Chains A and B, each alone.
Chain A
Amino acid sequence: MISQLAEFFQDLGHFVTSRIDRLGLAARFAGLLLLALGVSIRRASLIVREVYFSGVRSLSIVAVSGLFVGMVLAVQGYEVLQRYGSAESLGVIVALSLVRELGPVVTALLFAGRASSAVTAEIGLMRATEQLAAMDMMAVDPLSRVVAPRFLAAIVSMPLLAAIFSTAGVIGAWIIGVQLIGIDDGAFWSQMQANVDVRIDVLNGLLKSIVFGTAVGLISVFEGYFAAPTAEGIASATTRTVVISSLSVLLLDLVLTVMMFRGLS
């Protein structure tokens, strides 16, 4: 009985200390990565290649998801708004929820599933097949040659993808609201323009997506770089990337929203 209890506390202690240990490792890794960025940024062709694999290949899923999310928002929003006789405010509701929240957050979640998991698996497999060690032997720094371009690609891609998501969503809401339901076209756009502020809403939304890009990019390269060099290790690292990225995006979103939008109205 006593020994079982002792074992439980041992496990708990081990769990906590290993998490803190890993957090410290991640912080040290982020510092090293920051130093490697200087070298990496001068080799733009490597970043362009990673933007292609992370950003361009995610374009279709992001645009189509945005369109559907905008359409659903329009249908649900109209349902409530028409009860209060203000169906013309549909554009405002859809645009504000997309630009402030759904655009950056859903894009980051999609990006974590579509692109970051692939980055983790790629770097993890490079580690397992000792390609990273081989690079080190040839005096090529794997951090600036392999890791940094993938990290930068996430930061570059995320705001562009979020903007595309929001735009597709607004167009989707316009298709449902104006073309199918028959809300007045002029009122839809003019109410939207009167209530969406470029600095407060659009720029803060883009700032959010840059922060999300940094977080998701860092998590994906970290998990890949320190994946156990086995098939199992890479599998669990990929899973961890998606889980931790999604949770940190949602947590960061709460913190950023409170910082940006509290006390505005």
Chain B
Amino acid sequence: MNRSKFDFAVGLFVAIGLLAMVFMALKVGNLAGFDSGSGYALEARFDNIGGLKVRAPVKSAGVVVGRVDSIGLDSETYEAVVRLRISSNYRFSKDTIASILTSGLLGEQYVGLESGGDPVYLAGGDRLGKTQSAMILEKLISQFLFSKAAETPAKSQ
């Protein structure tokens, strides 16, 4: 039995297979980027999160700095509790504002962080004080209609 031939071919096969796995991890997926295990957690409360989903990106100035870890509802205040996991490379000041934004007209929703001027930085587990809820199209339209309706009788008088 020519064993060395098998060994070489199988070794080559395993090497190509492992290379393909590395390709999938690094080039197709993004192992080198942000993974959900590391970083520190922040909590933000919103009146309405719209269509925000778990694993949605957290961006600051357009740069992805973390991911949405979990979404829950506080049954006493009826606010949405969104836990964010921020990469430990980035620090944000205490008065950072979190808002829910949409990328593009039909794109997915993400959390935008806007850092303020406070010299004290947020630490793991802290809560973001100021938040801005998602823009709900139906609410905007009804607000617009109500304000229009309020205008018209004033004009006719």
A residues neighboring B (CB under 8 Å): 45, 48-49, 51-52, 55-56, 59, 95, 99, 157, 159-161, 163-164, 166-167, 170, 189, 192-194, 196-199, 201-202, 206, 264-265
Which of B10, B14, B57 has the most A CB atoms < 10 Å from its CB?
Answer: B10
A-B contact pairs, 5 of them (CB 8 A): A49-B3, A164-B16, A166-B20, A167-B23, A167-B28
CB distance from A210 to the nearest CB of B (A): 12
| Pairwise interchain contact A55-B10, C-beta atoms closer than 8 A | yes
Determine if B13 and A193 form an interchain contact, defined as CB atoms under 8 angstroms apart. Answer: no
Number of residue pairs A-B, CB distance < 8 angstroms: 92
Is B127 positioned at the interface, with any CB of A under 8 Å from its CB?
Answer: no
A198 near B17 with CB under 8 A, answer: no
Q: Which of B13, B24, B57 contacts A51 (CB 8 A)?
A: B13
B13 touches A48 (CB 8 A): no
Are B35 and A192 within 8 A (Cβ)? no
Contact (A164, B7) CB under 8 Å given A99-B28, A193-B29, A196-B28: no
With A52-B9, A167-B20, A196-B29 known, 9 other A-B pairs at CB within 8 A are: A45-B6, A56-B10, A163-B18, A163-B21, A164-B17, A167-B23, A167-B24, A170-B23, A199-B35
List residues of chain B with CB within 8 A of the CB of A160. 13-14, 16-18, 20-21
Q: How large is the interface on B (under 10, 10 to 19, 20 to 34, 35 or more residues)?
A: 20 to 34
- Top 7 nearest A-B pairs (CB, nearest first) are A160-B17, A163-B20, A198-B29, A193-B30, A167-B20, A196-B29, A56-B13
In the bound complex, residues from chain A placing their C-beta under 8 Å from that of B16 are 59, 160, 164
Least CB distance, B15 to chain A, in whole angstroms: 10
A193 touches B33 (CB 8 A): yes
Partner of B9, one of A45, A56, A202: A56
* A95 vs B53: C-alpha distance when bound (angstroms): 21
Residues on A with beta carbons closer than 8 Å to the beta carbon of B25: 198, 202
Q: In the complex, what residue of chain B is closest to A194 when comparing beta carbons?
A: B30
Q: In this assembly, does B91 line the interface, its C-beta being within 8 Å of a C-beta of chain A?
A: no
Question: A99 vs B23: C-alpha distance in the bound complex, in angstroms?
Answer: 12
Q: How far is the CB of A254 from chain B (nearest CB, A)?
A: 23
Nearest CB in chain B: distance from A73 CB, A: 14
CA separation between A163 and B17, bound complex, in Å? Answer: 6
